Amino acid sequence: MKKLWMLLLLFPFLVSAKPQTDTTYRCPPCGNTCDNVSFSKAGTCAHCGMTLVSKQEKDSITAQKKISICFYLYDGVEVLDFAGPMEVFSYAGFNVFTVAKTKAPLTSQGILKINPDYSIADAPPADIFAVFGGDDNVTTNDPEVIAWIKSRDKATQSYFSVCTGAFILGKAGLLDHLQVTTFHRSIANLQSAVPSAKVLSNVRYVDNGRIITTAGISAGIDGALHLVAKLKGKDEAKRIAAHMEYDKYQAEQGLIVR
């Protein structure tokens, strides 16, 4: 009986001596404000749809090296060309940043005024280099930018182009002897610009391993989902497509060159 009284008296101290653990749940990093919210129960985030994880798991994910992707933008870049993939890669947890020739504001689609994160003078390296269509001759006719793209080649694991962004990769000598695609009205022109390549029409994207080129404008969404499927699995690509309500998504709609 004395022992029981002793235990009862010690109870508050025994409880407080238990190590404190954070039992709340968090959204895995997705680049949205829900990154900063904690939840009292397990489940999915109502905002981004990702499965909630413990604080410890989140800290571990955050500590891992994220896949980085450089979005090279220029005056006259087509807005959906880059915005579709930006949406996809953001939800895949990639580190997406924008680069232009200079840090001066640029205009997309004659409408949207954008401040790039970096210029070619200070852009960090990235795992993936992405280019987009529109007035691509602004870039293909700029030897300084083409030389800069070439200079980053050793540090770049892979390339991703949407629409006539393929002309930029072509000018940098990256499409030689590959099967590639571009905007449907530019198939013949790209074939002339890169005679050694085989330019395909009627394909949503072509994946050569290191280099993915997609068809025009909205096809960038499918190409980006394909890249996510390749790097993070098909389930992750399907989750993102469902979250974006891209309900017409068809996996493996492109050509994968092996």
Contact residue for a second copy among 127, 135, 142, 236 (CB under 8 A): 135
Name which of 16 and 36 has its Cβ closer to a second copy. Answer: 36
Helix (H, G, I), strand (E, B) or coil at 30: coil
Name which of 32 and 54 has its Cβ closer to a second copy. Answer: 32
Give me 254's structure tokens. Answer: 């492109």
Name which of 155 and 242 has its Cβ closer to a second copy. Answer: 242
Binding mask 17-56 for a second copy (x = CB under 8 A): --------------xxx-x----------xx-x-------
Please give the C-alpha separations between residue 34 and each of 20, 25, 45, 49, in angstroms, as whole numbers. 24, 11, 8, 10
Please give the C-alpha separations between residue 253 and each of 200, 205, 209, in angstroms, as whole numbers. 14, 8, 16
d(CA 124, CA 95): 12
Contact residue for a second copy among 67, 87, 128, 145 (CB under 8 A): 87
Name which of 116 and 170 has its Cβ closer to a second copy. Answer: 116
d(CA 121, CA 38): 39
Residues 218-247 that bind a second copy (CB under 8 A): 218-219, 221, 243-247
CA angle 247, 250, 255 (to 5 degrees): 150
Give me 118's structure tokens. Answer: 């970096």
Contact residue for a second copy among 26, 67, 78, 212 (CB under 8 A): 78
171 binds a second copy (CB under 8 A): no
Query: Which residues are registered as beta bridge partners of 39?
Result: 25
Residues that bind a second copy (CB under 8 A): 31-33, 35, 46-47, 49, 76, 78-80, 83-84, 86-87, 90, 96-98, 105, 109-117, 134-135, 183-186, 189, 215-219, 221, 243-248
